[in-house]
Amino acid sequence: MRALVQRVGEASVEVEGRVIGQIGPGLVVLVCAMRGDDESAAEKLAARITKLRIFRDDQGRMNRSLADVSGGALVVSQFTLAADTSSGNRPGFSTAAPPEDGERLYLHFAESLRDLGISVETGSFGADMKVRLLNDGPVTIWLDTADRA
C-alpha cells in the first residue's frame, strides 16, 4: 500500500458540500491499495504511520509520533497515488488494486489505525471529495509497504 502523509494543524473532507470528516492536529493520510496488497499490508502501514516520529518534542525536534501527541488521522482514499507517468503525459493506474479490493483495504487500514488507539475520520471511497488542510511545517512523507521486505 502507498500513503502520502501530511502533518496538519487541522483538516476536513467534504462530499457534495457536506463535511463528512474533520480533525484537529494530526495527520492527513492519502492512501492507495496496490494490486497484490492484502490486509497485512494495511496493518503494517497503519503501524508505521502510528509510530512515525514527525511531531515536535519540547525542543522543537521531530521526535514524537501520532500516538505520542494523541493526534487524529483523516484517512482519504487516493487511487492516483498509483499513477504511472513513465510513458507519456497521461498517467496510467493499472497498478492500483481493483475498486472492490481497494475499498476493502482502505477500510481495513482505517480500522487498523483505530485498533492502535488513533482517532480516525474518513472520506468516502470513490466519491468526488474536497479536502482542506492546514499543512504544519510543512511536513509531507511518502510511504510504500513495497519498500520494506
Give the residue numbers annotated as catalytic, written as ranges.
Answer: 78-80
Contact 106, 58 (CB under 8 A): no
CA 100 to each of CA 24, 39, 97, 103, 118: distance values in angstroms, whole numbers, following the listed order:
30, 13, 8, 5, 25
DSSP single-letter state for residue 80: G
Residue that has been written with the C-alpha cell 487498523 in this structure: 112
d(CA 25, CA 20): 17
* Residue 126, CB-side half-sphere exposure with 13 Å CA sphere: 9
